[in-house]
């Protein structure tokens, strides 16, 4: 729990009457600091991750041009329309561990002639290579998103990665461009983000941080011209990895150690380091909670684990701050989301149902990313369709939007808006040996002045009587939408009414420039505020 800063808070909130406590409620006060804007929230925080795994690509995106499922050049129309609606900014592909076994040449040219491979990363299933570079880029263009290509370090080479980038980006008159044109695409594509390996501490080559630093430098020396360089991740809270990587990848030789980070911009490019972090019930990857029918203890441990994201960003950022005091290098959460127990019939497909718990985890994670917008510049939900904590599930021709999708939908107002710091005064949620803040809040102001506030009340039993004041502004009007349900594992099902579809939040009241509302137990809600125009700059004025 953060303490409100005495004077400002008193000034803004003193006039707000305390709501009466009821048995199943707690009191919460929030101060939004409109006069102290922070960093711009990079829309890429709403990025996605897609891997050749289970039904993530085949069925989830690709059905082929001859499929009875409505499609455009083989890509599902319903999935594309759903992703466009929530303005998905970028998609990371082709893996994951799959990327470390991927050879791009197997998946270009006439589809009927492409070799059939084996997906050794995921259950030795046959990889038909029907969805390759051209199909992925077509999908990206249909969605209106940017590509993030993860290159193969474990079984590939710098030459293979470089020729892939040339194939995609070379002018049509070059040899690589002519080959691309023969395969159906004359215009070069742009590749804004390139991932230099995936989990290089594990499936991406089983490397030490020392060794990876040198490999990274080698790949960067040939890939740097093509896009932003995203270094392979530290495994969650492996801070030693980040320290070693930054120390070794930034400096060539002790005699050459630069005193300023400017050196890196000129000599060696690290645009972002990545972190992979999954939510389990607790910290043990081997003991996972069921996706539905879980206990409150599982709920509590999942929330505790998700809150760790905040600590992880703080600690990776502290290392970055020493190496990069100017804040040039960002953090990409290249894989995040909930990982529940897998279907025993096909354990490698990582298909899981999505409940209210997933919505709360999504809301909490996105709030945390946003509140660190100065460093966290990208995140990729694992994974977009049919794998782990998805936005979308399909069942052949049927599609459903998950509770996680609804969170991304409601949070759209934050994309590209300016972070407004918040101070939150609320009790902890305690259960099963877990003690975590019950409330998470993130606020931002869009260019048109609209303020978006996302609130997660993760307490499964108690509603929050909330009072929200704005320092440096006064609220004129407010409305909200909420995702909640009776049961902690409520979920949508194909062909049935969606119990988690966002609803108007009733009882949002504006009085004397502040807002009061009740955030239901186990809910994610998003408020839209219109502030009163401030005379002059308005920066100093507070609500009366």
Just list the catalytic residues: 199, 335
Residue 127 in the binding site for ligand AHR (CB under 6 A): no
Q: How many CB atoms lie within 10 A of CB 214?
A: 11
Residue 363 in the binding site for ligand AHR (CB under 6 A): no
Separation in Å, CA 152 to CA 128, 165, 228, 364: 19, 12, 16, 32
Q: How many CB atoms lie within 10 A of CB 189?
A: 18
Tokens 């909930």 belong to residue = 338
Q: How far apart are CA 513 and CA 255, in angstroms?
A: 60
Tokens 């990857």 belong to residue = 285
Separation in Å, CA 8 to CA 178, 318, 468: 64, 28, 13
Q: How far apart are CA 534 and CA 441, in angstroms?
A: 24
Residue 409 in the binding site for ligand AHR (CB under 6 A): no
Residue 100 in the binding site for ligand AHR (CB under 6 A): no
Only segment of 4-12, 91-99, 137-145, 300-308 that touches ligand AHR (CB under 6 A): 91-99
Residue 94 in the binding site for ligand AHR (CB under 6 A): no
Binding positions for ligand AHR, 158-217, rule CB under 6 A: 198-199
Q: How far apart are CA 514 and CA 475, in angstroms?
A: 6
Dihedral of alpha carbons 38, 40, 41, 44, sign: negative
Q: Please identify, using beta-carbon distances, which residue of 96 and 188 lies nearer to ligand AHR.
A: 96
Q: Nearest distance from residue 382's CB to ligand AHR, in Å?
A: 4
Residue 382 in the binding site for ligand AHR (CB under 6 A): yes
Residue nearest to ligand AHR (CB): 96
Q: How many CB atoms lie within 10 A of CB 73?
A: 13
Encoded one letter per residue, x for contact with ligand AHR by CB under 6 A and - for no contact, window 48-67 reads: ---x----------------
Tell me which of 13, 28, 45, 97 binds ligand AHR, using CB under 6 A. 97
Q: How far apart are CA 434 and CA 297, in angstroms?
A: 8
Only segment of 35-43, 93-101, 315-323, 521-529 that touches ligand AHR (CB under 6 A): 93-101
Q: Please identify, using beta-carbon distances, which residue of 98 and 139 lies nearer to ligand AHR.
A: 98
Residue 95 in the binding site for ligand AHR (CB under 6 A): yes
Residue 525 in the binding site for ligand AHR (CB under 6 A): no
Count of residues engaged in binding ligand AHR, rule: CB under 6 A: 10
Q: Nearest distance from residue 151's CB to ligand AHR, in Å?
A: 14
Q: Please identify, using beta-carbon distances, which residue of 131 and 429 lies nearer to ligand AHR.
A: 131
Q: Nearest distance from residue 115's CB to ligand AHR, in Å?
A: 22
Within 120-277, where are the H helices? Answer: 133-143, 158-169, 175-182, 209-223, 239-250, 262-267
Catalog residues that contact ligand AHR under the rule CB under 6 A.
Answer: 51, 95-97, 198-199, 335, 382-383, 388
């Amino acid at each position: 729990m953060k303490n409100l800063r005495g004077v400002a808070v008193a000034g803004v909130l003193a006039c707000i009457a305390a709501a009466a406590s009821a048995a199943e409620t707690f009191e919460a006060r929030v101060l939004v600091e409109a006069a102290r804007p922070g960093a711009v929230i990079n829309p890429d925080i709403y990025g996605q991750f897609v891997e050749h795994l289970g039904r993530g690509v085949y069925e989830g995106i690709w059905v082929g041009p001859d499929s009875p499922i409505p499609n455009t050049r083989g890509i599902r129309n319903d999935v594309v329309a759903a992703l466009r609606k929530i303005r998905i900014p970028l998609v990371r592909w082709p893996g994951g561990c799959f990327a470390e076994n991927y050879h791009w040449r197997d998946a270009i040219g006439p589809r009927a002639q492409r070799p059939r491979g084996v997906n050794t990363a995921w259950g030795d299933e046959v990889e038909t290579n029907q969805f390759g570079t051209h199909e992925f880029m077509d999908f990206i263009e249909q969605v209106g998103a940017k590509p993030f290509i993860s290159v193969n370090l474990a079984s590939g080479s710098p030459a293979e990665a470089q020729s892939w980038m040339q194939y995609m980006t070379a002018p049509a008159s070059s040899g690589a461009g002519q080959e691309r044109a023969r395969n159906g695409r004359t215009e070069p594509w742009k590749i804004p983000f390139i991932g230099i390996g995936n989990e290089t501490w594990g499936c991406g080559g089983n490397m030490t941080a020392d060794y990876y630093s040198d490999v990274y430098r080698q790949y960067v020396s040939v890939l740097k011209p093509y896009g932003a360089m995203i270094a392979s991740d530290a495994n969650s809270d492996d801070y030693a990895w980040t320290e070693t990587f930054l120390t070794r990848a930034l400096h060539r030789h002790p005699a050459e150690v630069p005193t300023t980070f400017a050196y890196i911009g000129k000599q060696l490019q690290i645009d972002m380091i990545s972190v992979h972090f999954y939510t389990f019930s607790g910290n043990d990857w081997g003991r996972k909670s069921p996706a539905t029918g879980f206990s409150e203890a599982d709920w509590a441990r999942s929330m505790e684990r998700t809150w760790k994201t905040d600590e992880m960003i703080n600690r990776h950022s502290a290392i970055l701050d020493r190496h990069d005091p100017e804040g040039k290098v960002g953090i990409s959460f290249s894989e995040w989301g909930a990982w529940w127990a897998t279907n025993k019939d096909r354990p490698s497909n990582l298909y899981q149902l999505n409940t209210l718990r997933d919505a709360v985890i999504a809301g909490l994670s996105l709030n945390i990313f946003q509140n660190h917008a100065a460093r966290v510049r990208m995140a990729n939900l694992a994974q977009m369709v049919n794998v782990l904590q998805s936005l979308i599930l399909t069942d052949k021709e049927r599609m459903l939007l998950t509770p996680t999708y609804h969170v991304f939908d409601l949070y759209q107002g934050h994309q590209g808006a300016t972070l407004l710091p918040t101070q939150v005064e609320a009790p902890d949620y305690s259960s099963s040996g877990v003690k975590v803040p019950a409330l998470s809040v993130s606020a931002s102001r869009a260019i048109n002045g609209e303020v978006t506030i996302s609130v997660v009340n993760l307490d499964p039993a108690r509603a929050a009587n909330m009072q929200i004041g704005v320092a440096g502004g006064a609220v004129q009007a407010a409305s909200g939408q909420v995702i909640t349900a009776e049961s902690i594992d409520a979920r949508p099902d194909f062909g049935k009414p969606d119990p988690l579809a966002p609803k108007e939040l009733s009882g949002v009241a504006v009085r004397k420039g502040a807002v009061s509302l009740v955030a239901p137990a186990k809910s994610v809600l998003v408020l839209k505020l219109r502030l009163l125009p401030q005379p002059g700059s308005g920066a100093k004025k507070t609500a009366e």
